[in-house]
Structure 1
Amino acid sequence: MLRLRRVAPTAALWADRATYDDRLIFHTEQWLRFVAETQRAEPVLATITDGPRTVGHFTGLVTKRYGLRILGSPMAGWTTSYLGFNLDPAVPRRAALEALMPFAFGELGCAHLEIRDRGLAETDLEGLGLRWAAAPTAVIDLGPPEDTLFAAMAGACRRNIRKAAKSGVVIEEAQPDDEAFADDFYHQLRDVFAKQNLVPTYSIERVRALIRNLAPAGHILLLRARDADGRCIATAVLPWYHRTMYFWGGASWREDQHLRPNEALIWHALRWAKERGVTEFDFVGGNSYKAKYGTTEVAVPWARRSRSPLVAGLRDAAKEGFALKQRAVARLTRVSP
């Protein structure tokens, strides 16, 4: 029987966690510092044992809502795609999930649990008292040659990449200490959200915190697209680690989208990652516009369980309240001087 035991974050622990092939950037010390800082959450690291043998690790963070302890692995709104487990290939993920329940609600004393693990399938969740929603992501296998990757894109996407080059769009790799990058990205992001009468779901401080925590380890690529006059017209934030690069965020000025800088940014990122041995590009979500890049959809369910129906209701109400607040802020922004 598997058992979870909370452990302190020692150098030896981080070294052991880095030996698991299913490790992701979201399991790293740097990423957890970023989430803890921006969410005022407490990291929770646990070893998974089968008798005397360690067979994996669990990663999450505890936060409080309405005075209740909540274990997120991750929670929605944390701009963190997946957490969950790192496991020996012989250990079923369902077994690890079963062992997580008494740990979360017993040892940690939490009232609510949410988990999105890249390796979990919907069949792993059945019969465990969990609710879940389909949350697919779109990925690109970077294994094929560069010309094969380009040919797999939709014809219109390939034409747009060529158009960007002919229009004088140049992709620039920003340095992590470039303090203007976060400002460029966030101002463009506000323009993107304004198109839908919304405002960004996070502040510029989260962008700065992400760069500050990941840059020292070299785990982030920051890209700018400049037009023929040298003006920044689009940006992209791309964390990467082990075998995967992630599209954390991208933005562009609406008035310059006819120059197709977004497609040029993605094409540059794909080639950059491939040259460094990265084998997968994860768009972090399954929006239909991403299919033009030749993506494959991967199912990654987002599961949750509450200690009581009341807690589950509070969680749903909080989600609805956030959406209403976002729209209200957008309205105020539009009428403010």
Structure 2
Amino acid sequence: MLRLQRVEPSAALTADRATYQDRLIFHTPEWLAFVAECQRAEPVLATVSDDGATVGHFTGLLTRRWGLRILGSPMAGWTTSYQGFNLQPGVSRRAALRALPGFAFDQLGCAHLEVRDRAATEADWTGLDLRWDAAPTAVIDLSPDEDALFGAMASACRRNIRKAAKSGVIIEEAEPDPAFADEFYDQLRDVFAKQNLVPTYSVERVKSLIRHLAPAGRITLLRARDGDGRCIATAVLPWYHRTMYFWGGASYREHQHLRPNEALIWHALRWARARGVTEFDFVGSNSYKEKYGTVEVPVPWGRQSRSPLIATLRDTAKQAFALKQRTAARLTRFKEPEAVTRP
């Protein structure tokens, strides 16, 4: 039977965790520092042992909601894709998931937990007390050569990439500074405004992400400029080990006819492949991503509460957040009737 035990961070622990092949950027100290800062959360590291021998690690963060302790690995809204476990080959993820509620509720005194593990399959969850929802993501295998990657895209996507080049759109790597975050966020506001919404997070979260990941060389920031040199689109792309992630992308509606978004993704795919990255993860599955030649990968999102009341509170809070977002969008349009000023 597997057992989880909380441990304190140390150089030896960090070194051991880094040896696991299923380790992702979301398990790194830099990413945990980013989430902890933005969510006012406390990182939780635990070893997974079998008969006293360490066979894996768990990563999560403690926070408070509704006055209760919550263990998120991760929680929805953290702009963090997956955490969960790092396990040695042959160690059962199902057994690790089965041991998790006892760790969360008994050792940590939590009232609710959520977990999304990139390597766990639906079979690992079936029959456990953890409720789970399908939360697939869209990925691109970067192993083929550039011609094959380009050929796997939909014909309309390929035409748009060519159109961007003919229209004078240039993609450049941006410096990891607050000015880029401001550019990205202004464009993000325009993206959400198209749907009568406002962004789900502030510009400070973007600045925090850059501040924590850039020193370790784990983030790529791309900027698209039109023929006149104006920044018309941006992309935020954390990467680590074998995977690059599409954390965020934004563009001004008035320039989308130049197709900068497709040009940004195509540049990112080639940039990552040239550096030995073997997978591009769009972090979520939407129909617009299919044109890039993606494959859908199921990644269930599980949760468990001490009581049905807490589970109801969680679902109600999710619905309330959506309502709050739409209300904020209406208030923003009322207070700011003029168009957002463009740089």
Q: Tell me the TM-score range normalised by the shorter chain.
A: over 0.9
Q: Deviations over 1:92-115 (max 9, x none)?
A: 100111111110110001000100
Quote the Cα distance in structure 1 between the aligned partners of 2:113 and 2:66: 15
Question: What do you get for the CA RMSD once the two structures are aligned?
Answer: 0.6
Deviation at 1:180, TM superposition (A): 1.3
Q: Structure 1: state its 5+ residue gaps.
A: none
Alignment of 1:54-65 (within 5 A): 54-65=54-65
Deviation at 1:122, TM superposition (A): 1.6
Q: Deviations over 1:171-198 (max 9, x none)?
A: 010011x331001100000000000000
Q: Residue 309 of structure 2 aligns with which residue?
A: 310
Q: Residue 161 of structure 1 aligns with which residue?
A: 161
The one-letter amino acid paired with 2:154 is: A
Alignment of 1:110-129 (within 5 A): 110-129=110-129
Deviation at 1:121, TM superposition (A): 1.3
Q: Residue 290 of structure 2 aligns with which residue?
A: 291
Q: Deviations over 1:143-193 (max 9, x none)?
A: 0011100000000000000000000000010011x3310011000000000
Quote the Cα distance in structure 2 between the aligned partners of 1:74 and 1:143: 29
Alignment of 1:64-79 (within 5 A): 64-79=64-79
Establish whether residue 147 from structure 1 lines up as the match of residue 147 from structure 2: yes
Q: Deviations over 1:205-260 (max 9, x none)?
A: 00000000000000000000000000000000000000000000000000000000
Quote the Cα distance in structure 2 between the aligned partners of 1:97 and 1:236: 34
- Report the TM-score when normalising by structure 2: 0.97
Q: Residue 193 of structure 2 aligns with which residue?
A: 194
Q: Residue 182 of structure 2 aligns with which residue?
A: 183
Quote the Cα distance in structure 1 between the aligned partners of 2:82 and 2:161: 30
Q: Residue 340 of structure 2 aligns with which residue?
A: none
Quote the Cα distance in structure 1 between the aligned partners of 2:202 and 2:328: 13
Runs ≥4 residues deviating over 6 A: none
Quote the Cα distance in structure 2 between the aligned partners of 1:40 and 1:187: 25
How many corresponding residue pairs? 336
Secondary structure at 2:153's aligned position in 1?
Answer: coil
Deviation at 1:51, TM superposition (A): 1.2
Quote the Cα distance in structure 1 between the aligned partners of 2:313 and 2:53: 39
Q: Residue 250 of structure 1 aligns with which residue?
A: 249
The one-letter amino acid paired with 2:91 is: V
Secondary structure at 2:325's aligned position in 1?
Answer: helix
Quote the Cα distance in structure 2 between the aligned partners of 1:110 and 1:138: 32
Q: Residue 171 of structure 2 aligns with which residue?
A: 171
Alignment of 1:1-337 (within 5 A): 1-176=1-176, 178-337=177-336
Secondary structure at 1:9's aligned position in 2?
Answer: coil
Quote the Cα distance in structure 2 between the aligned partners of 1:127 and 1:258: 49
The one-letter amino acid paired with 1:6 is: R
Deviation at 1:52, TM superposition (A): 2.3
The one-letter amino acid paired with 1:326 is: Q
Quote the Cα distance in structure 2 between the aligned partners of 1:179 and 1:190: 17
The one-letter amino acid paired with 1:144 is: P
Q: Structure 2: state its 5+ residue gaps.
A: 337-343
Quote the Cα distance in structure 2 between the aligned partners of 1:128 and 1:280: 30
The one-letter amino acid paired with 2:253 is: R
- Report the TM-score when normalising by structure 1: 0.99
Quote the Cα distance in structure 1 between the aligned partners of 2:251 and 2:150: 22
Aligned sequence identity (%): 79
The one-letter amino acid paired with 1:108 is: L
Quote the Cα distance in structure 2 between the aligned partners of 1:277 and 1:53: 33
The one-letter amino acid paired with 2:72 is: G
